[in-house]
A and B are shown apart, each in its own frame.
Chain A
């Protein structure tokens, strides 16, 4: 079985909303900086007031590897990348494509979700691929 994240109190709501099919980006209500991973305080100013803002759902593929070996539940080859979201922060996820060999950095991507039982995990689809 593919693994799912086990939440801590500071990531619980962020992960709950992903399970509900919504990606959010944590933002400091004091200095307005956005950041990931989710934290209960702001890494820029230290304020303890953080809100989860719905993400635009778009981003740019900063870099990736194409895994030719796979942990249990995954089927190689597949692309694992780091995406810069439109809001700024970066997120790791699988880029869903039939041709990972054709993937290039700076590709425009859209946030998607992969269902894993009751849970969901964020992944990315190529913008040009039929959306």
Chain B
């Protein structure tokens, strides 16, 4: 693979980052208001006002509606919506747009009333979509049946045990226990996972993400402008970014034991950043279901094929481990509104800033991977402190 975009390494920075004021059950805000609440928090986080923003990117709600609600007059709009990874793609696209001079300061917003469903269109696949034609007639119980479809094959090919799969939520709960904002904080055991209701065997309830309300937002600008601003928090630089996609139906995926989209997006992001795996201090991998971080560890190249279950079992991703992963508790324990990717980015930013509730010592480089649909899309960001420039 040719290494493209290396001149954009560190070209833009995340100067503002914040989540909605509340997470969990928010019965008094619509999805659009959750975007706006997070946006205002992110602007306050960097000391900017809506008038300072000239570009808006969002998924779930349309960027023009976000702009209009906040009184922003945008010259750049990005409505990319490829599911939960969309926000990683927004950052990558903003990296190009800001660097090319198309705009100066981009606001990226997420908000979903996933639990309370206020101001949300009821979710259902379009009746003539590939999913509705190829999958729904066969009786999947939504994502819990379809997303983990490959887990049995992964177990057969690589010998992953049910205990190892259960360790993913167990370890992430260890992180959540240190995070007061996490929805689920009580420690759990492998036995607790097995005792939770079976949804789509081998998937139990505790292998599945939460369903919550919440939002998050980022303010991005050029590294040059970041240096000229009087910022309350240190900028977090985008060292690399990558994206890819494949089929939106699981029968159309190239492999059931690996995600091509994670692999290609991750390769691109790491190559652009020039960062070696060994230099990564912290990792976020979108965890809608317990197997996704396992696939992610392998598809991003942190471990070899089939090695992720033992890597997790050996404590490498747990508190005190060599590669702390999903340190907010993840979609499994922290929060999961529907398109979780924004929350993964927020935690990476906190870890690089040194302000995370479960802060890892000395995080200069964080890798953050989002997934959309059932592996239909992925985006990866490599984020770094000023020391990495």
CB pair B134–A65 under 8 Å, yes or no, is no
> Beyond A37-B133, A37-B252, A116-B137: 9 further Cβ-contacts under 8 Å?
A5-B137, A6-B133, A37-B251, A62-B150, A68-B198, A68-B201, A71-B141, A89-B251, A90-B253
Nearest CB of chain B from residue A115's CB, rounded to whole Å:
12
Contacts of A131 in B (CB 8 A): none
Contacts of B200 in A (CB 8 A): 65-69, 80
Q: Across the A-B interface, give the 7 residue pairs with the lowest CB-CB distance, nearest first.
A: A63-B153, A65-B200, A66-B201, A74-B139, A5-B133, A90-B251, A68-B198
Contacts of A90 in B (CB 8 A): 251-253
Contacts of A4 in B (CB 8 A): 137
Contacts of A65 in B (CB 8 A): 145, 148-149, 151-152, 200-203
CB pair A92–B138 under 8 Å, yes or no, is yes
- State whether the Cβ of B199 lies closer than 8 Å to any Cβ in chain A: yes
- State whether the Cβ of A55 lies closer than 8 Å to any Cβ in chain B: no
Question: Residue A37 contacts which of B139, B145, B249 (CB distance < 8 angstroms)?
Answer: B249
CB pair A121–B198 under 8 Å, yes or no, is no
Contacts of B148 in A (CB 8 A): 65
A32-75: CB near B (< 8 Å → 1, else 0) gives 00001100000000000000000000000011111111110110
- In the complex, how many residues of chain B place their beta carbon closer than 8 angstroms to a beta carbon of chain A? 35
- In the complex, how many residues of chain A place their beta carbon closer than 8 angstroms to a beta carbon of chain B? 41
Q: Cα distance A16–B135 when bound, in Å?
A: 17
Q: Cα distance A116–B136 when bound, in Å?
A: 14
Contacts of A73 in B (CB 8 A): 139
CB pair A62–B132 under 8 Å, yes or no, is no
Contacts of B138 in A (CB 8 A): 80, 92-94, 121, 123
**B142 nearest in chain A by CB position:** A71
- State whether the Cβ of B256 lies closer than 8 Å to any Cβ in chain A: yes
- State whether the Cβ of B140 lies closer than 8 Å to any Cβ in chain A: yes
CB pair A92–B128 under 8 Å, yes or no, is no
24 contacts between A and B (CB under 8 A): A5-B134, A5-B137, A7-B133, A15-B133, A36-B134, A37-B133, A37-B249, A62-B150, A63-B154, A65-B151, A65-B202, A67-B145, A68-B199, A70-B139, A80-B145, A81-B149, A82-B251, A82-B256, A90-B251, A90-B253, A92-B135, A92-B138, A92-B249, A94-B139
